[in-house]
Chain A
Amino acid sequence: MTKTSQPKSHASKADSSNDLAVTGADAVLRVLEDLGVEVIFGYPGGAVLPIYDALFKRNSIRHILVRHEQAAVHAAEGYARSTGKVGVVLVTSGPGATNAVTGLTDALMDSIPILCLTGQVPTHLIGNDAFQEADTVGITRPCTKHNYLVKQAENLVPVLYEAFHVASSGRPGPVVVDLPKDIQFAEIDMGQVEPAKTKAVSRYRPVMTPDADAIRQAADMITSASRPIIYGGGGIINSGDEASEHLRELVALTGFPTTLTLMGLGVLPSEDKHFLGMLGMHGTYEANMSMYHCDVMLNVGARFDDRVTGLTSGFSPHSQKIHIDIDKSSINKNIRVDLGIVGDAGIALKMLVDEVKKRKAAIKKDALSEWWKKIEEWRAVRCLEYNQTGDIIKPQYAIHRLWQKCKDNDVYVTTEVGQHQMWAAQYFGFNAPKRWMTSGGLGTMGYGLPAAMGVQIGNPGKTVIDIAGEASFMMNMQELSTIAQYQLPVKIFIINNEWMGMVRQWQELIHGGRYSESYSASLPDFQKLADCFGMKGLVAKVTDDLDPVIDEMLGTDGPVLVDVRVAKEENCFPMIPSGATHNQMLLGPNDKAAKPVSEEGMVLV
């Protein structure tokens, strides 16, 4: 397969950079350079050695060596979400690719643009159960937006351009390009780059500009509403910063109450008076009650996820619903809407703002103020209140204090998955998009630490905090080594309750308090763990420790691992129990006996 002339032409490349014939591996890097890729998260192996060799020789793109391929994808996700760029991953064949699958699925669920290059055994060995062979395109087909196996050298360059285009346009997502080793050695004619670029965008052309009539209809609907609500999601963030600006303008223009999904936090500043907080299972009482009682709902870039809707048959039963989404298949998937609009959130919001301006006089000011009065009553319930008394640190208090100490700075937060994630969403405020990176759709424990690395790489000089649970943290804690290697000043803030807290909470609520296998036994001494990776370790055991520990963490230049020992059996409230509707929230522990989970609800996750 390998042409004998290859090593020679490869070696001579440096002094004749206009030479149009290069190796496949070299072509991969040239395309990535041309696409503006600055960093690759990866892990080498037999089937990608030619690309690693080219990486070494060209020295044009920074490579971050992770300690596990799953972490490479999460790091690329963190990078992508915090910068708006495409995250690029490079892993080897077989186990390299299979380890990446969780990250790819995570990126698919949360619509994160990822280009994942996987090595593959040479084409003549495909299908032979060769060493480190896996059917990567077969395995990743359902967990990518699209994937490719490059079997002909002439397809390499066009495929790479198309893959990048598919990953980053429309509803973003992960794209895998599987690269057999012989293709990496093959001779590639770089003369076809320009036609390849043109062709890349020709096959996949998502609808960006929504139908103007539909936008006008939406403007009519929202301006004639008595009890309107805006429900925004991650699509606004994916669209770009202007989309958040347009949403803010729409909110200011109309004075409408606005709630955001877990993925949409930051679109509207957390302290904006129109912001009702996050909605959904652990959303605020006022957001969920407003969703239930509204008469017109404007959903922009959210997908009526089951964590948001609760029981769909009782979801916002009295409203007319408008749904703006770039993905047509998200419209009418879970919730039947009255007006579906396919298009980019930013473009749609801009058009909508213009139409609403023309109808400003139509907004029913009296009805709206009545509606706000109602909402203020729900707000007065103060559903996020918690009781911090005594020495034991409440997890809510720990996160609340962290936010208060961060709020005047531009910080980036990632989380793992579980109770701490929900508390972070509830008690940490965000004032700008792209500051909050969490695994929403897939709910991947172990996401936060590698994601924080990617955020830090993409935003040098910024404070990046992984708000973690001790159990989730341990799922990818090998990445402490990566953090140490690159001296990434990531702050790891572990809310340590010695339980898989969300599992424990569900066992308490619906499995009779039988805490089957949810205890975090044999935890390491996190301070010593930090120490053995050469980073600072801190511990907060009682309330009085908390502020000084946070101060020291934020004041330290390098990475810090903080072990915050919190109340062990605190539950995450408020909560819509499974199988219940928005108006059936549990506000706190005393509520749970009054509203037991239904049998239908028990089978839901």
Chain B
Amino acid sequence: MSQHMNNDEVRHTLSILVDNEPGVLARVIGLFSGRGYNIESLTVAGVDETKNLSRISIVTRGTPMVIEQVKAQLDRIVPVHMVRDLTQQGLHIERELALIKVVNKGEARIEALRIADTFRANTLDSTLESFVFEVTGSSSKISAFVELMRSLGHVEVSRTGVSAISRGLNVDMPIRTQNETKD
């Protein structure tokens, strides 16, 4: 009776606090590839210099049972301190930054600038035949921007992947200040 459950795949955004030590990213990625889980996006950077911790944001997709597995498996990794499922916890913010180069001439340049303006993109570089825009937002906003630019010239894209945090005053993964290093 307990076998029947939802087998639809769902998208989850996970935040993982890890020791910033060699090989830790390989452990996380190796877990996903070795067990056949999906990674849609992964970002990592140090967030706590005092305690030498990094935060990894992963967007993954799977059935609810697989998502539970992903979290439990991540939690087993020795240098992993904390795993949070932002999607399950509720309201959270996901943002991505992208650098988009568009190479074009004439009318298309004006259109590109106009669209960039609507998307609140910054122009970081321009030549007579190209722009580099910086745009931040949800993944879908960035995808929409890229699609529009694609119709306006040759496009090159560099995206950071999703970074995420919960809304509200809950501090899930506190970092320490310099004078507050005791556990």
Chain A positions within 8 Å of B, measured between CB atoms, are 137-138, 141-142, 145-146, 149, 151, 166, 203-204, 312-313, 315, 317-321, 327-329, 331-333, 335-338
Check if A317 sits within 8 Å of B3, measured CB to CB: yes
Contacts of B157 in A (CB 8 A): none
Q: How far is the CB of B14 from chain A (nearest CB, A)?
A: 15
Mark contacts of B56-82 with chain A using CB atoms, 8 A cut-off: 1 yes-contact digit, 0 otherwise: 000000000100110011011111000
Contacts of B128 in A (CB 8 A): none
Check if B30 sits within 8 Å of A146, measured CB to CB: no
Check if A141 sits within 8 Å of B23, measured CB to CB: yes
Q: What are some 7 contacts across the A-B interface (CB < 8 A)? A: A146-B78, A149-B22, A149-B23, A204-B78, A328-B75, A332-B69, A333-B72
Q: Point out the residue from B2, B26, B65, B68 that lies within 8 Å of A338, measured CB to CB.
A: B2
Check if B68 sits within 8 Å of A332, measured CB to CB: yes
Which 5 residue pairs of A and B lie closest in terms of their CB atoms, listed nearest first?
A329-B72, A146-B78, A336-B2, A328-B72, A329-B73
Query: In the complex, A327→B75 CA distance in Å?
Result: 10
Query: In the complex, A210→B64 CA distance in Å?
Result: 24
Kindly identify, within residues 25 to 65 of chain B, every residue whose CB is under 8 Å from any CB belonging to chain A: 26-27, 30, 34, 65
Check if A320 sits within 8 Å of B78, measured CB to CB: no
Q: How far is the CB of A67 from chain B (nearest CB, A)?
A: 31
Check if B72 sits within 8 Å of A312, measured CB to CB: no
Query: In the complex, A138→B2 CA distance in Å?
Result: 39
Query: In the complex, A149→B69 CA distance in Å?
Result: 28
Contacts of A319 in B (CB 8 A): 1
**Whose C-beta in chain A lies nearest to the C-beta of B34?**
A142
- Is B171 interfacial (CB-CB < 8 Å)? no
Query: In the complex, A384→B39 CA distance in Å?
Result: 48
Contacts of B79 in A (CB 8 A): 203
Check if B2 sits within 8 Å of A337, measured CB to CB: yes
Check if B3 sits within 8 Å of A336, measured CB to CB: yes
Check if A142 sits within 8 Å of B72, measured CB to CB: no
Kindly identify, within residues 10 to 25 of chain B, every residue whose CB is under 8 Å from any CB belonging to chain A: 19, 22-23
- Is B5 interfacial (CB-CB < 8 Å)? yes
Range of interface residues on B (Cβ < 8 Å): 20 to 34
Extra A-B contacts (6), CB below 8 Å, given A142-B34, A313-B3, A336-B2: A203-B78, A318-B1, A328-B76, A332-B69, A335-B3, A336-B5
Query: In the complex, A333→B66 CA distance in Å?
Result: 8
Contacts of A327 in B (CB 8 A): 76
Query: In the complex, A337→B73 CA distance in Å?
Result: 17
Contacts of B34 in A (CB 8 A): 142
Query: In the complex, A151→B23 CA distance in Å?
Result: 13
Query: In the complex, A332→B64 CA distance in Å?
Result: 11
**Whose C-beta in chain B lies nearest to the C-beta of A330?**
B72
Check if A333 sits within 8 Å of B78, measured CB to CB: no
Q: How far is the CB of A138 from chain B (nearest CB, A)?
A: 7
On whether A329 and B2 interact (CB within 8 A), knowing A137-B23, A141-B30, the answer reads no
Check if B3 sits within 8 Å of A315, measured CB to CB: yes
Check if B69 sits within 8 Å of A329, measured CB to CB: yes
Q: How far is the CB of B159 from chain A (nearest CB, A)?
A: 28
Contacts of B23 in A (CB 8 A): 137, 141, 149
Q: How far is the CB of A202 from chain B (nearest CB, A)?
A: 9
Query: In the complex, A338→B68 CA distance in Å?
Result: 15
Check if B2 sits within 8 Å of A312, measured CB to CB: no
**Whose C-beta in chain A lies nearest to the C-beta of B69?**
A333
Check if B75 sits within 8 Å of A166, measured CB to CB: no
Query: In the complex, A166→B76 CA distance in Å?
Result: 11
Query: In the complex, A337→B22 CA distance in Å?
Result: 37
Check if A321 sits within 8 Å of B2, measured CB to CB: yes
Query: In the complex, A335→B2 CA distance in Å?
Result: 8
